[in-house]
A and B are shown apart, each in its own frame.
Chain A
């Protein structure tokens, strides 16, 4: 299965809006939302069926049984994550800091510490005319990279015979993004013509380049700052990256989103521009193997 991943570095540049439009235009048979911290694609791609839900267990967390504790302090001293503290002669684990490495469990002479798995999120799979894989990380949990990997695995095994998939990514350049890049054929970067947007775009491009994945760039709300748009164009040219189109700012978008529609469901300037971007991306993504 070929995979198109939509990323941006900076948040709020229009990844999900674009992903929703692409899924509709491509009549995609498989798609996924890898922004497990703040998933939004399900809001655009309304489903009529209930998803198959699975609990996601991240790394386990240490639990201390005070009755068996010998107060040797080994666990606290050796925890690299400062997750264990001694308060009023009781050793406590801060579950948010604990990364489940197991050092304390292995060191404890009284066998007072065990690692227990805790649900860290929720995987959802919609199997209708198309396969839609998504998830929600539990509030304040770590391990978002692991959950992203599960989202992709879930999609791949449910949609084995499908030719291509469209994946909505998360902002940033860290573990969830790196996990989402695995096995991807083309990354589409949604850039924004602001000083912040350009800085973030450069960092996400460098990240994707480390994985030697083909990169295409489109500029969203390009007309909000034409000087910066030119800078992005020059940057793409210098790095020999395909610039697949420019989408104008369109006040209609907010209205369309609030009506739970995609910008290609109605006739609007941004929707028309996205159709052109889609045609260009399709050439890069599907026609060449």
Chain B
């Protein structure tokens, strides 16, 4: 009772000053839809929080300095070795600060998890069409966040100035130098003169601990506020429409669940950092431009860029005293740049093709948008091949494949693979749609064989559950091209469909909207028909998102099947 009164007292005190009761009540009752894929963004968010916590700890001990020192710390094998203060202080964190190694390893694992979660989250958003209106801006913020994450990670693992990360910086320098016209200057300005210089670690440090995390924090805040304001999307299901949001309230459900999730992620990262060594810089040794070990790999999120550099042919032009290093700047800038650019434009391209300007809050199941899904898988395939090529020396070694063959394979499959993936994915999606249509039409096979009075054997089917049916029938159909039905009496198409661009759009429209048609009765009507026919009881509002055309014809067909 006293706690109650105390809380009320605090609440009143705050409310007198901030007028919070109404807003906070709305906040507490805010509905969060549930689906396991909605956790991917949370993983990224909490990894980021953990990165901030562990990163702050590391800054207490790390010296971002390239001043040369001779090591005399606790790690005996490196005694007397010349190294930068950055490397020496990283050894110090690992061997002379209690919990230092754990914090370093959690920081590194969390960075990898952060990037992996962003990738997975982004794929989820893409494949379920959650980037559609009104969420285009959040999609763009997400792409910027991913780019910032890549830079943040690259700069972060370059800080210890070990042999591996130094090689990464050397590659960065080479890539900068290859950029036409300004490249040499960019490299000299970033490194403060010739490579490696004494400036790069302190400069990357301040970018890594202040500028980029600040930008990420600001954009994450915007990302969350927009998500919060627009309310989360939901997966198709019973009672879920584009005009509502179904789920559990923020308080206490979502708060408890998301808090638990934070602990899980922290616990998982602690577990990984206890048992799985990551970035053991004491084994790599300090950076020296004269040495390099075999099997050097960047962190996984840079692997695609690394693979692109490896797969490229030696193509370089010398024109009028200037060098075009196509072998470097093309693979460094084009493949990933093209993917990000295409991703940024895709929501608007799709909108232009389909003419769909409506708000979407119920996500698509990937199979119900076969062209989008196929495009996505094609890009994933392209990315994946270059990513694997980024580790081709490891793959060649592990699987005893000739090294050069792995590159030759990648050179071919990076072009063929996406096409094959596109075709296959589209066929698979359409096949899955047919399976769904079949389920809706015939119900679930029960395995019960029954003999009819006339001697015929039939297998009994059970109508799909209400929940599943609601998920299966949901399709977000585009509104249709203006040309269909909007030609005037002389057969002149609508203005936006005229000309070459209009024809292209019409063709693209047909590709993008290719889909297996559910029979009109698969909305409300068919479900009821089946249900009645088999005597199963069926909730009256089986499908709230049902097609308006469904009810009429459904009953008749249902009777036919049921008898």
Do A and B assemble together? no
Residues of A that sit less than 8 Å from B by CB: none
Residues of B that sit less than 8 Å from A by CB: none
